[in-house]
Amino acid sequence: MPPPPLFSPPPLRLRHAAAFALVLAAAFALFFLAFSPSTTTSSPPSYGHRLPTLVDLTLVHGAKEKGAVCLDGTPPGYHWMPGFGDGSDKWLLHLEGGSWCRNLTWCDQRKRTSLGSSAYMERAEFVGILSDDQSQNPDFYNWNKVKIRYCDGASFSGNVEEEEQHGTRFFFRGQRIWEAIMTELLPKGLARAKQAFLTGCSAGGLSTYIHCDEFRALLPKDSTVKCLADGGFFLDVEDISGRRYMRGFYNDVARLQHLRKRFPGCSSDMEPGQCFFPQQVAKSITTPMFILNPAYDVWQVEHVLSPDGSDPQNLWQNCRMDITKCDTKQLEILQGFRKSLLDAISEFKKKRDWGMFIDSCFIHCQSMKSLAWHSPSASRINNKTIAEAVGDWFFDRREVKDIDCEYPCNPTCYNVELELVGGLID
Ligand SMILES: *[C@@H]1O[C@H](CO)[C@@H](O)[C@H](O)[C@H]1NC(C)=O
Ligand SMILES: *[C@@H]1O[C@H](CO)[C@@H](O)[C@H](O)[C@H]1NC(C)=O
């Protein structure tokens, strides 16, 4: 029997519970669907807007010759929506997320999903920061937008030559995928971009920290280039049982895909996985970065703070699904988690050209949800939506270092509630 997958698809989509279930169903065998997620919002949308644009998948040309392939050896892919009007020479890239695979068993499972093989990739809905609707995406709606699919299992950073792993072929080539996609996009107009924005969520947020400076280096010197990592500031903290679960997880990923050599700045007395945490990666970034992260990121509460095995009595089961169900003790732990995040980002807050938006909501991947990114019911800090704050920062309209007060202080918060019908989300 295959082990249960640790990763759940990163975007806990608010409006598309059915799509979320479909992604899961496609990703894993049906028996993993012991739970049926249904998501609701604290304030349901009270207005309608047009349906998101669906954008075709483009497979990378000549990927196999370059060895720039997904885990299963298929070519990687992306979705490109050309810009229009005065957005024609501006480019926004989004790196897809989807956790990581830490051992061959799990990587093998991913080969049978879009997170490990382009054979399973479909058209993409462009919503939130990728939307081409001005009312939903006021500053970037008419830019060229590219969603880059994630199929290497290690945030686009592996580059292992050998393909044979214990008798099975695995391709750990994320770095080559990144390079092949950039090589393909540059002649399409990216090379002449006046303004460019590299973004990504979850594991794609980590990818953004990893690749931000490389992206900057590809673009004209006189262009404005910035990066935004959404829900990607994974913390190197102890979980509720006192283990550093996430560090162990990253150690496995780093060993599997030989990542130590990818991060030469990482000191040799550190465990290999430590170098993979955003707090380390971000230290060397010289390009302006925006850290968008909820203080109580749902994915992190579930996978970093109360991961599999840390809660044998299932005391956290309700709290990790719905923050309103947390008891006083659990809330204290969540406030401690928030404090760890604020401590970890304090060194970046000092950087004048960096921006941040740390809301106190219970959610994940806010730039990829139209209602959370920019809508009448979106979460706000100082009465600004995330889209407004990010635009203010990108275009230097104001300094943006927006840090929300502690939960439950923010009445605009757009929180997710997951319903657990039984079984584990892991
Ligand atoms: C892969 O990782 C999972 C989660 O830690 C574990 O349950 C499983 O035993 C591992 N498989 C192998 C082959 O190491
Ligand atoms: C908040 O912003 C909206 C526009 O987005 C504006 O109409 C409203 O007056 C503002 N509220 C406050 C209290 O400033």
Asked if the structure places residue 51 within a domain, the reply is: yes
- Dihedral Cα 103, 108, 113, 119, nearest 10 deg: 130
Residue 129 has phi, psi (to 5 degrees) of: -65, -15
Residue 423 lies in a domain: no
User: Which CATH number does the domain housing residue 147 bear?
Assistant: 3.40.50
Q: Is residue 4 part of a domain?
A: no
Q: What is the pLDDT of residues 216-264, one digit of tens each?
A: 999 999 999 999 999 999 999 999 999 999 999 999 999 999 999 898 7
pLDDT of residue 8: 41
- Least Cα distance to 195 among 83, 95, 88, 91 occurs for 91
Q: What is the largest CA-CA distance in the chain?
A: 57
pLDDT along the chain (426 residues), means of 10: 41 36 36 34 49 96 97 98 98 98 97 98 98 97 98 98 90 98 98 98 98 98 98 98 97 96 86 95 97 97 94 95 96 98 98 98 96 95 98 98 97 81 35
Annotated catalytic residues are 202, 297, 364
Phi, psi angles (nearest 5°) of residue 58: -115, 125
Q: Give the pLDDT score at 30.
A: 32
Q: Is residue 164 part of a domain?
A: yes
Bridge partner residues of 362 (DSSP) = none
Ligand nearest to the CA of 387: 2
- Residue 354 CA to ligand 2 centre (angstroms): 25
Which residues are 228's β-sheet partners? Answer: 199, 290
- The CA 409 to ligand 2 mean position distance, Å, reads 18
Model pLDDT, residue 49: 65
Centroid of ligand 1 to alpha carbon of 104 (angstroms): 8
Q: How many domains does the chain have?
A: 1
Task: Cite the DSSP H helix spans in 138-294.
Answer: 174-185, 203-218, 245-256, 278-281
Q: Whose CA is nearest to atom 7 of ligand 1?
A: 3
pLDDT given for residue 268 in this prediction = 85
Instruction: Write out pLDDT tens, residues 380-421.
Output: 999 999 999 999 999 999 999 999 999 999 999 988 887 644
CA of 106 to the centre of ligand 1 (A): 7
Ligand nearest to the CA of residue 388, numbered in listed order? 2
What region, left, alpha or beta, does residue 363 occupy, with left being phi > 0 and alpha being psi -120 to 50 degrees?
beta
Residues 6+ apart with CB under 8 A from 30: none
> Which residue from 104, 106, 165, 243 has its CB within 8 A of the most atoms of ligand 1, so it is best to mutate?
106
Mutational pocket test of ligand 1: of 6, 99, 103, 104, the residue with most ligand atoms within 8 Å of the beta carbon:
103
In DSSP terms, which residues pair with 384 in a beta bridge? 381
Residue 352, domain extent: 12-418
- In this structure, the residues whose C-beta lies within 6 A of any atom of ligand 1 are 3, 6, 102-103, 105-106
Residue 424 lies inside a defined structural domain of this protein: no
Q: Is residue 181 part of a domain?
A: yes
Q: Is residue 5 part of a domain?
A: no
Number of Cβ atoms within 10 Å of the Cβ of 426: 15
The Å distance, Cα 56 to ligand 2 centre, comes to 38
Read off the tokens for 160.
């292992």
State residue 419's pLDDT score: 60
Is 339 inside any structural domain? yes
* Ligand closest to CA 383: 2
CA-3 nearest atom, ligand 1: 7
At 27 the pLDDT is 38
Q: Which atom of ligand 1 is nearest to the CA of 249?
A: 5
- Which residues, 6 or more positions from 58, have their beta carbon under 8 angstroms from its beta carbon? 77, 78, 79, 80
First vs last Cα of the chain: how many Å apart?
Answer: 15
The ligand 1 atom at the shortest distance from the C-alpha of residue 4 is: 7
